[in-house]
Structure 1
Amino acid sequence: MPVPALPVPALPVALPVPTTQPPTTQRSQAKENRRQALLTAAAALFAVDGFNRVSLEDLGAAAGVSGPAVYRHFTGKQAVLGALLLSVSQELLDGGHRVVAESDGAAPALRRLVEFHVDFALSNPDVIRVQDQDFSNLADDDQAEVRTLQRNYVELWVDVLAGLHAGTEAAELRMRAHATFGLINSTPHSVRSHGRRMGVRRARPLLESMALAALLAPAAPPAH
């Protein structure tokens, strides 16, 4: 009697590996790229002309879209300003935490915080100028959130400074941090004024050394 042939199991069919991103991902990435382009354009335009003098048409044209197309990404011009200052404030706080977490001790952490903030100031002069001149144009909720993020960033520096100035009151350490930010954040004005003679490459080490000197200086003796 012939032996019946056993069924041969079907081999799994290999699915083709996609070589490109799905259309949804591509659209999402394109939308995010356009949003970032609008924020970059807003920083440049607001820094030069001020928030009140820039129209949505100006903003769209600088980013390569029409004025009404801005509404696909933001509810209005004030929302653009809010997104700009909120995003950079969050980036500062996140970057500061990362620097401290990766540092071994207060002294290395302080040095790296200074380097981090100087790099931010040299890379974002327009944002610093917008913060200085147009903060009051933020919506109330955005003002409160930006203040909270920036306050937390200051306290991060205060915690590091406390490890280097034992027994010093937090109020004095906070003043040191604020004074240092003022020194470093003057970069948009000083580099633009003296950039041809000095340049960013020379400005960076000078700002870092001046900031560290101020932060590490001994406390002033009490007034009599």
Structure 2
Amino acid sequence: MASRSSTPTASEGRAPRRRPADRRELILRAAAKAFSDSGYHAVRLDEIADAAGISAPALYRHFPNKYALFAETARSLADALATATVAVPVTPDDPAGELRALLAALTAAAVANRRTGGIYHWEADYLENDDAQYVRAIVVAQHRRMRGALRGCRPDLDHASADLITAAMTSVVASPATHRTVMSARQIVELITDAATRLADVDVPPDSAPPTEATRGLSPTSKREVLLAESIRLFAARGFHDVTIDDIARAADLPPSGVYRHFESKAAILQAAFWRASDRVTTLIADALSRAGTPREAIVSLVTAYSDMCCTDNDILAVYSREIGNVEARQRTELRSQQRINVEEWAAWLTRDRPELSPAQARFLVQAALNVIMDLTRSQRDPTPDRISALGLRILLGEAVPSKSDSVQAGE
């Protein structure tokens, strides 16, 4: 009888593969990172399965479709915020201490979820019905508690200003999830909590009545420019995936074939819009610096110009922040590279004005200020540019900066 080979078979040589006990959590973490980086539509379930180390059929045993997975990640992020704020005791006799504790807890939660927290930028666009209400209830409860503590510190603050400052604080503590600058968790929490807390005593300019709508002036006659302008408007209003070439053609008063004479695809239009936004921000920086004579004036000029642009023409920036995942990877890398260069320019002038800041700290503060400006101009609060500028400048400079009206009065 032939002896059995001493060489182990595949089944004998390896321990049986065990299903990880936390497979669902692995899927959720991989999905949250993917959605945070690229938005909703650009993410594919097979990519999430690969990142989680499982097969696509295994993923479907836990989540029936992409929306179910997205909704669960958004709920999980909201739950993390709720857990952070519930742990902070209510202290009516010390509203300033309660407010700082809330901001520190939320910052720590944002840092802990740094690779996934960017979901908050798109959850409102894609969540449906019960899921949207679930997340919204947690966000509103958090906002109201912070606003209550703020008004406890400043009982004379009007409701609209308290609401605006609270929204800005929330945007500051969420900002670490919007970039990848490296710094220790302890340093991030301390720096960002301090920046958010300083907003508590900012004097925002009065909430003036909305100005009468100014004439939009003349539009370019170039068909390519018309197509680009109408596409940006449609993408901002309805989202990239819900806009068709036929929609764009109708808006530009062209047949669909006319669109393809200028752009090979809808994605090519989006890519051109992104570079238009990037070029606009780069030009804004050069123009703002040309009006400054000192580092402090450079920071004031940059914040003022960026706030003005976001308030007056925020469609293109809203599309940029929401749809970046829908351009091909190489272009996405190049666009983000240019974005980092722009942030570095801001940070360089900030460290010249505040030499106590390290370059990394300056980048964190710049990202926080930019996040506030973008979030507030996308919100329904519709603040004026000077109110937004006051908040951005307090984040960057750490002290009050005279408003335009104050400067005029001082000159008189």
TM-score by length of 2: 0.42
Is the 1:93–1:152 contact (alpha carbons within 8 Å) kept by the matching residues of 2?
no
Structure 1: where are the runs of 5+ without partners? 1-28, 219-224
Q: Partners in 1 of 2:387 and 2:257 — Cα distance? A: 45
Is the 2:267–2:326 contact (alpha carbons within 8 Å) kept by the matching residues of 1?
yes
Task: From the CA coordinates, give the structure whose radius of gyration is larger.
Answer: 1
Indicate whether 1:168 and 2:357 are aligned.
Answer: yes
Indicate whether 1:214 and 2:214 are aligned.
Answer: no
Indicate whether 1:194 and 2:389 are aligned.
Answer: no
Q: Partners in 2 of 1:194 and 1:105 — Cα distance? A: 33
Alignment: residue pair count:
180
Q: CA deviation at 1:152?
A: 1.1
Deviations 1:7-58 (A, max 9, x none): xxxxxxxxxxxxxxxxxxxxxx85xx21111111111111122111111111
5 Å-filtered alignment, 1:5-84, equals 30=221, 33-84=222-273
* Residue number in structure 1 paired with 2:309: 120
Is the 2:369–2:395 contact (alpha carbons within 8 Å) kept by the matching residues of 1?
yes
Q: CA deviation at 1:204?
A: 1.3
- Matched-pair identity in %: 25
Is the 2:284–2:306 contact (alpha carbons within 8 Å) kept by the matching residues of 1?
no
* Residue number in structure 2 paired with 1:204: 385
* Residue number in structure 2 paired with 1:85: 274
Runs of 4+ displaced beyond 6 Å: none
Q: Partners in 1 of 2:377 and 2:370 — Cα distance? A: 12
Q: Partners in 2 of 1:131 and 1:148 — Cα distance? A: 14
Structure 2: where are the runs of 5+ without partners? 1-219, 400-412
Deviations 1:102-134 (A, max 9, x none): 310101111110111011101222222212221
Is the 1:121–1:187 contact (alpha carbons within 8 Å) kept by the matching residues of 2?
no
Is the 2:277–2:320 contact (alpha carbons within 8 Å) kept by the matching residues of 1?
no
Q: Partners in 2 of 1:173 and 1:59 — Cα distance? A: 41
Q: 1:142 aligns with which of 324, 331, 334?
A: 331
Q: Secondary structure at the match of 2:340?
A: helix
Q: Secondary structure at the match of 2:356?
A: coil
Q: Partners in 1 of 2:337 and 2:274 — Cα distance? A: 12
| Structure 1 vs Structure 2 CA RMSD | 1.6
Is the 2:307–2:385 contact (alpha carbons within 8 Å) kept by the matching residues of 1?
yes
Is the 1:35–1:73 contact (alpha carbons within 8 Å) kept by the matching residues of 2?
yes
Is the 1:158–1:173 contact (alpha carbons within 8 Å) kept by the matching residues of 2?
yes
Q: Partners in 2 of 1:120 and 1:40 — Cα distance? A: 16
Is the 2:228–2:269 contact (alpha carbons within 8 Å) kept by the matching residues of 1?
yes
